[in-house]
Structures are given as structure tokens and as C-alpha cells.
Amino acid sequence: MHIPFVDLRMQYEGIKKEIDGAIKNVIEETAFIGGKYVNQFEANFASIYGVTHVISCANGTDSLYIIMKMLGIGAGDEVITVANSWISSSETITQTGATPVFVDIDPLYYSMDGSKLASAITPRTKAVIAVHLQGQMCDMENIEAICREHDLHLIEDCAQSHFSEYKGTRAGLRGIAGSFSFYPGKNLGAYGDAGCIVSNNSELAEKCKMYARHGALKKHQHQMEGINSRMDGLQAAILSAKLPYILRWTESRIQNAGLYHQYLQNIPKVILPATRPGTKHTWHLYVIRVKNRTALMEFLHEKGIETAIHYPTTLPNLPAYHYLNYKASDFPVASKFQDEILSLPIYPELTEEMIAYIANAIGSFYAS
């Protein structure tokens, strides 16, 4: 049996008529940049997500950068983010002229450890980026309280947490703005790069929209210098075609995570992911912790099972951040877990037979 880590072809086959029709319409109408399909997606996503403003962007990385720029973050400032994430969560801070400051991860839930946040704040701190990793939201009540106490902007990186919830509120709606990626492998993915900003703050939303469109809300009427970060019509139409299925797909991910729990729970050398109380985990990733990870990955590959690591090196341990003079011991949990975490295939089309096959392979590896 061959089980890919992500199977976008299988998803496409299930909605082929809608996708092909959406692409055909955009091409026939030559609606490639801006226009009705982008406007429709922004309206559709705002409606289903329950937010006032959606600003489409070229990608999720841009959306983070735009939020920070329009909040006035720049040279001399610091922005706090988590030690274990994709580099977009930190490189965008540097791109504004500010300095990234990293906080270790929670040993149970693998996102920012809220108990360590306050000690990272300095007089230069202007914002906190809460990264909702793997489909699970951070300890938002604690993080929000600290941000309020210190008058800091709270930005949510929701690249892995479409439709995740914390105590009934969706990811991206608790801070001043949320950043989303629609990279093809995401829970809601385009067929190329795409992203968006969500916010209920009208003033910030207008600034972000203007900045992403060369500093103009109307053609040739530039109120500021901006950047070119527009979602193209093809991606918008594809995302709109997928939107009617996203809630069902999300429930399928949750069910598949439950099956993994069921099949893996009796393998003593495998540490299963935990769900934070009060959250709705949408399982963008199913991440276990194991010893002998490299050998296990090779064994699974021989069995036709693809796996991945999110992420093999924590951000402050990367060469890109050596100039900050961090040590691995500054982030003991993230530095330890980077050698143990392993992402297993999880997507709506995964069957119980496939999950059982993966679990049996893992069990046989540790039994030998």
C-alpha cells in the first residue's frame, strides 16, 4: 500500500466538476487579477468564518508582514513569537525592521508556552504573534491577558488552523487580526500560493487592503507606498469552489485523528498528541513523538508510508538567527522535541484501513 503524506489528487477527484468549472470561468472571462472572483471569495470566506473583513493576499507570509507594517511595527521594536514554527512567523518580523524574540513551547500542546511569555517582554516589545500550530489554538486566555496588561498587539498566525476554535471563538478572531495561508496542502488550500487577513477592526483592515494593493483602494489613487500582494482570480475561484466542503472535511480530519488515537494508544514508545481543553483541534497535522525517528521514517517509507517533520530545527537554532546569540538550552522543550516529532499522513480522504496500516507498521517497528 502507498500512502502519500498529502493526497491533493484524491481531493480534486472528489470535486473535479466544481474545480474545472471554476477554472474555466476565470479563463473565459480573463478575470486573472482582482475582479469578481476575488471579491466573491472574500465575501464567501467572511460569511462562513464569521468575520467582518477579509483581505485577500498573495500568500500567508505576506499577510503577516502586512498586518505588522500597518500596525506601525518597525525598526527598534520587538515582536514575540514561538520557537517552533515555519520561518514565516519570524522572518516577517525582521522584514518590518523589528527584532524577533522567541518563546519556548508548551510540552503538552507544542504551541507557545503562555507561562513564559511575560518574561520575554521588554520596553521595546510591540506585539505577540500567537502561532496556532498543527490545527490547535494556543493558550489564548493567558496570552490575551498578558497582551492587555502590557498594551501589546496580539496577532494570530492561523496558517495551520483554519476553523479551529478556542472556547467557541475561531482562530484569527481573538486578536486584532489573523493571518491565513491557503498553500495547497493546507486544510483549505489553493492550487498555488494564496493567503488572507481577517479582522473585525475596520481601520486596520482598510490600511491592510490598501497596502497590499500598491497603497491604493482605487486604481491610480495611491494614498501610500505599498506592495503588490494580490490573490489571483484562479486561486480565488478554486478556494470558493472548495468552501462548501471545508466544514465536512474538517470533521473528517477530527474523526481520522480519533482513529489514530485508537490504533496507536497501546504502543508504549509512541507519545500521542494532546488536545487542549476548550479547543476544537482541526488536525492540519497529526504529530507524534518517538525515539529512533530516522529509522522509523525509513521503515515506514519502505512500507509505502510518507511522513514529514514540522519542524526539524527550531527557529532560534537556525543559522538565520545565530546573530541573536540564542542557545539551544534557552528553549529546552522545543530543542528536545525537534529530534522526536514526526508528522503522520492526515487528510479527509484517509481511510480507516490506511490508518490501521500505518499504526500496525509503527507497532511492528517498535516490537522488533
pLDDT in tens, 140-160: 999 999 999 999 999 999 999
Do 235 and 182 touch, CB atoms closer than 8 A?
yes
**pLDDT at residue number 77:** 98
**pLDDT at residue number 368:** 77
pTM of model > 0.75: yes
Do 99 and 123 touch, CB atoms closer than 8 A?
no
Q: Give the pLDDT confidence of 209-265 residue by residue, as tens digits.
A: 999 999 999 989 999 999 999 999 999 999 999 999 999 999 999 999 999 999 999
Please give the radius of gyration of the chain, using alpha carbons only, rounded to the nearest integer: 21
**Hey, where are the domains in the chain?**
8-244, 246-367
Band (184; pLDDT cuts 50, 70, 90):
very high
Band (129; pLDDT cuts 50, 70, 90):
very high
Is 72 a residue whose pLDDT tops 80?
Answer: yes
Helix segments in 3-116, DSSP class H: 8-14, 16-29, 36-49, 60-70, 88-95
Is 344 a residue whose pLDDT tops 80?
Answer: yes
Grid coordinates representing 180 are 491565513
Burial of residue 228 (CB within 10 Å: 0-12, 13-18, 19+) is exposed
**Mean pLDDT on 57-79:** 98
CATH superfamily entry for domain 246-367? Aspartate Aminotransferase, domain 1 (3.90.1150.10)
Average of per-residue pLDDT values in the chain: 97
Is 16 a residue whose pLDDT tops 90?
Answer: yes
Q: Is 59 helix (H, G, I), strand (E, B) or coil?
A: coil
**Mean pLDDT on 267-274:** 96
Do 162 and 285 touch, CB atoms closer than 8 A?
no
Is 328 a residue whose pLDDT tops 90?
Answer: yes
Q: What is the CATH number of domain 8-244?
A: 3.40.640.10
Strands of the 153-157 sheet, one edge to the other: 53-57, 195-199, 177-181, 153-157, 125-131, 78-82, 99-103
Reported residue count of the chain is 368
Grid coordinates representing 206 are 482598510
**pLDDT at residue number 254:** 98
8-244 with 246-367: one CATH topology?
no
Helix segments in 168-272, DSSP class H: 202-212, 233-242, 246-264
